[in-house]
Amino acid sequence: MDACLGSELAGVVRKSRVFVVGTGGIGCELAKNLVLTGFQDIVMIDLDTIEVSNLNRQFLFRKYHVGRPKVQVAREALLQFNPQARITAIHDSVFNPDYNVNFFKRFSLVMNALDNKAARNHVNRLCLAAGVTLIESGSAGYLGQVSVIRKGESECYECQPKPTAKTYPACSIRNTPSEPIHCIIWAKHLFNQLFGEPDADEDVSPDTEATDEHDSGGHKSGGQKSGDLGEHGPGGQQSGDQNSGDLGEHDSGGQGEGVPMSDGLSDGVNGGPVQSKLSTRQWAENNKYNVEKIFTKLYQTDVEYLLTMKQLWEKRTPPTPLSLQQLTSSSDNDGDGAGGSDGCLPDQRVWSVHKCSDVFQLSLAKLSAEYRSKGELTWDKDDKVSMDFVAASANLRAHVFNIQRKSRFDMKSMAGNIVPAIATTNAVIAGLIVMEALKVLAGDFNKCKQIYLPRMPNPYKKLLVTCSLAPPNPKCYVCSPKPEANIKLNTNSATVVHFKKRY
């Protein structure tokens, strides 16, 4: 080691106490690199336990470790590389107030290997307060990024706004879906309206005030990751359908739970304006979560009502309402998802409309029973029944609106915003973190870089793109001595409740 680093830096490395936050994909690679570089005093924290799905890339873990805390197993593996190293494993969340400014002050360097913005923000702020240099990193598929944060000398994690999640206009979700993703978001909203935490911005009924997409006033529904590093990357953000961004302007016009709902088969069937104002949850409860009534409302009554909004269909193919009776009397057996003859796994086959209807009815009955016994449910792509419900509901909507149906497999990755993790990317990023760490410890902070691993080599044929560290944003509300925050809000529609919820 002395020969590689020079005896002075090797000595500093041996004496340095470093803190690794997260021992997942990047964290495993990083911890191994640190031990092999000669670091002898390493504190690691991770709140998670090992899952089978981690094993393809978190190579310090084996199948027989599944269920054990990641950080403890990582420690045991690292001690095999160097039994003399002092490695402390903390199985806990970094949010625990025990890990306060004084705790952070004990380290020569902190390295993040996290997967979410909230924890990154937290560590960023603690490092700034403690005056410790932080190396921030992230990866998403083939993309990766490393940067070095030091108070007053370089941009902090929160100096620049993060790219916002791709959102879809509420009118495309509620009234005029044209892509599978619109139907998937609608189905996730439906899950929340029926069983989860209902959000007025996620209404699934027709927006009765819309005359065309741009008049509906709603552009906030259904955020999805937009292909940046997302929450995995240093420039990332919370995933999922969180509606971030400005307040009021694109809001759904304060309809709250008062969007007119048909209260059964009668209202709206003939295309007349529905009378009662009920939330989807209230309506479903009044109808005792009757599967047939819910099916009829979603795929027949509401669609018939939408058809009465003639302007919506002047330049679009109108939807075709679907009734349960129609399904029972027709035969439609192709692609029932059973798998087999075409060599596809069952999840990869596109379900027939019949199959969608069966899965919809079955999963709806199961979820409503679960909701009755447990109370509000949380949607989870890995929960079979919840995913079945979303896949079936979305495909039925796609069928009604003449949109291509998708396999459960495709739906899962779209609904769960899944970006596959790639071991090689993590390995490259972890190597770069150590390179930056060595510069920091050698006192060469001015040589530190912000490094990007793009999908393809850049025009100069470079696979790693390095930039000088940007100076801190003088207005940053986290690290600047004179913080500023600008909030854009539409005083015509913004309410105190919305304001508190969003900010």
Ligand X SMILES: Nc1ncnc2c1ncn2[C@@H]1O[C@H](COP(=O)(O)OP(=O)(O)OP(=O)(O)O)[C@@H](O)[C@H]1O
| Residues annotated as part of the active site | 171
Q: How many CB atoms lie within 10 A of CB 299?
A: 25
Nearer to ligand X, 46 or 207 (CB): 46
Q: Which does 477 bind (CB under 5 to 8 A by kind): Zn ion, ligand X, none?
A: none
Residues 183, 411: Cα–Cα separation, whole Å = 10
Q: Mind giving me the DSSP string for 296-359?
A: HIIIIIHHHHHHH-GGGGSSSPPP----HHHHHHS---S--S---TTS--GGGSPPPHHHHHHH
Is 156 annotated among the ligand-binding residues? yes
Which residues pair with residue 450 across a beta bridge? 467
Nearer to ligand X, 120 or 188 (CB): 120
Integer-rounded Cα radius of gyration of the chain: 26
Instruction: With beta carbons less than 8 A apart as the criterion, state whether 460 and 442 touch.
Output: no
Q: Which does 114 bind (CB under 5 to 8 A by kind): ligand X, Zn ion, none?
A: ligand X
Is 340 annotated among the ligand-binding residues? no
Binders in 83-112 for ligand X, by CB under 6 A: 93-95
Read off the tokens for 152.
Answer: 């007053």
47 sits near ligand X (criterion: CB under 6 A): yes
Q: Which one among 101, 129, 464, 478 touches Zn ion, defined by CB under 5 A?
A: 478
Q: Which does 77 bind (CB under 5 to 8 A by kind): ligand X, Zn ion, none?
A: none
479 sits near Zn ion (criterion: CB under 5 A): yes
Instruction: With beta carbons less than 8 A apart as the criterion, state whether 186 and 224 touch.
Output: no
Q: Which amino acid is at 348?
A: Q
From 50, 141, 123, 228, select the one nearest 419 (Cα to Cα): 141
Q: How far is the CB of 489 from Zn ion (least distance, A)?
A: 23
Binders in 118-157 for Zn ion, by CB under 5 A: 156
Nearer to ligand X, 139 or 262 (CB): 139
No. of H helices and E strands in the chain? 17, 8
Which listed range, 16-24, 186-194, 344-352, 355-363, lies at the site for ligand X (CB under 6 A)? 16-24
Binders in 192-251 for ligand X, by CB under 6 A: 232
CA distances from residue 36 to 76, 252, 379 in whole angstroms, order as listed: 15, 55, 42
Q: How far is the CB of 159 from Zn ion (least distance, A)?
A: 3
Query: Binding site residues, as ranges?
Result: 22-27, 46, 54-57, 70, 115-120, 156, 159, 476, 479
Binding region for ligand X (CB under 6 A): 22-25, 27, 45-48, 53-54, 70, 93-95, 114-116, 119, 232, 421
Binding region for Zn ion (CB under 5 A): 156, 159, 476, 478-479
